[in-house]
Amino acid sequence: MERTPVHAYTISALLLALLALLFHTLLQLGNSWHRYYVNCQRLRCFPEPPRRNWLLGHLGMVGFIPGEEGLTLVSQTVGTFSQAFVTWMGPFLPVLSLVHPDYLKPITTASAAIAPKDYTFYGFLKPWLGDGLLLSNGAKWVRHRRMLTPAFHFDILKPYVKIFNQSTDIMHAKWLRLVASGSTSLDMFEQVSLMTLDSLQKCVFSYNSNCQETSSDYIAAILELSSLVVRRQHRLLLHWDFLYHLTPDGWRFQRACNTVHRFTADVVQRRHQALNRLGREAWLKSKQGKTVDFIDILLLAKDEDGQDLSEEDIAAEADTFMFEGHDTTASGLSWVLYNLACHPEYQKRYGFSNCSMPFSTMCIKESLRLHPPVTAVSRRCTEDIKLPDGRVLPKGTSLLPCPPAREHWPTHLALSQELHRAELRHGRDEGGAGTDAAALHRAAG
């Protein structure tokens, strides 16, 4: 076939386009590599524990081991690096862990635009939790936060105390039966997690699954999802979605997500249909004398323009609060039980016969200070952030403020000594001077 000038011109144009695309791609890669190299050089001013090897970095070591071994290793590392230190997730992703309160303050006081959430860590939750308060950013986060504020009014929360007490009574009765049958030890976190999930399911959905006594597919799915997300964080190759979805863990994650989403969507749809069928006034009258749950509040919420939340948004917020509410509460309560058991003299004072609310509050706050239920939060700075000693957090760096590490840095004392000073801290917490970095363990701010 004879080539015409038009044909030759077309081929030349395509080749030029391909060359331009190749040049653009190489330029982007070169710029990315240069930024990465510069950031690595700028991070050299921060100390780094010995790596496992060049490929895995610190995976399976500092900050990347779940359970008791991981917490022990973090405490040991903080004893050596008491201000900040760098760890590596694989060969290419540095993470700067911040320990000392003076280093945490620039992050806790920075705006969401300067230190937004880092989806390297939070992204694993996205298929499960959607775009709820935990994972959303910017205008959507602000809108949803304003619409959800009424859910935390004292008059709304007060009736929930009865539900909390009922769920706790069920757990306590179960413990008494197990002790009577000869059981000598229990996994407290598992028991307390079931209790908090039982409470939340009643408060969020007005649904009683009796999960503390019998198995529940929905509750089992939430517990499995929590476990799978943690396991995925510690396995470098599973960070890529396309690989993860080909693994048995990925299949289990998808099945559990489907179970949770079906339950939530069914409740939201039925409640929404009832609201539309009866109308707002009649629907509110039907709720008189009943406890208003979280779904009710979300269905009635409106923004400044009078717009409702979509069913998808309501489901995402409900799933988010089921996850955040059960996991952190169960962790915090389990640590309170642990710390009291380690110090019998305070456990005796904490007993029901002579328990006072101020002392109980001090014990709980001290336990939260020493063992925060949220072990780390993740941020990525969008611009350079200067630290008090003149060092700089480079733009684009993944940051890991570590509440547990902060509370165990060497100048802190043991719990038995600290409780003598807790009353002073408790009073200061109520008054509130300097609560930003100091109260990070209670999610302040």
What pLDDT, on a 0 to 100 scale, did the predictor assign at position 2?
Answer: 54
State the pairing for strand pair 93-98/398-401. Answer: parallel
For residue 286, the surrounding DSSP H or E stretch is helix 280-286
Tokens at residue 292, please? 């208003």
Q: Taking a C-beta distance cutoff of 8 angstroms, is the pair 118, 95 a contact?
A: no
Q: Do 221 and 256 form a contact (C-beta atoms < 8 A)?
A: yes
What's residue 170's pLDDT?
Answer: 94
* pLDDT value for 245: 92
**Count of residues in the chain:** 445
Q: Looking at residue 246, what is its pLDDT?
A: 93
Amino acid at 86: V
Handedness of CA 169, 170, 174, 177 (dihedral sign): positive
Whole-number pLDDT of residue 413: 39
Q: What is the 3-state secondary structure (H, E, C) of 82-129?
A: CCEEEEEECCCEEEEEECCHHHHHHHHCCCCCCCCECHHHHHHHHHHH
β-sheet bridge partners, residue 158 = none
The amino acid sitting at 97 is: S
Fold of 119-342: Cytochrome p450 (1.10.630)
The CA–CA distances, whole Å, from 296 to 112, 129, 204, 427 equal: 30, 19, 9, 37
Structural Rg of the chain based on CA atoms: 26
114, 417 Cβ separation under 8 angstroms? no
Q: Is 54 exposed, middle or buried (0-12, 13-18, 19+ CB in 10 A)?
A: exposed
Cβ atoms 107, 399 nearer than 8 A: yes
pLDDT digits (tens, 9 = 90+) for 238-250: 888 999 999 999 9
Beta strands per DSSP E along 90-212: 93-98
Contact assessment for residue 53 and residue 89, using Cβ atoms and an 8 Å cutoff: no
User: Can you list the residues of the chain whose pLDDT is less than 70?
Assistant: 1-6, 60-67, 351-356, 403-445
DSSP per-residue string spanning 331-381: HHHHHHHHHHHH-HHHHHHHSGGG--HHHHHHHHHHHHHHS-SS----EE-
> What is the pairing mode between strands 84-89 and 379-380?
unpaired
pLDDT the model gives residue 243 = 92
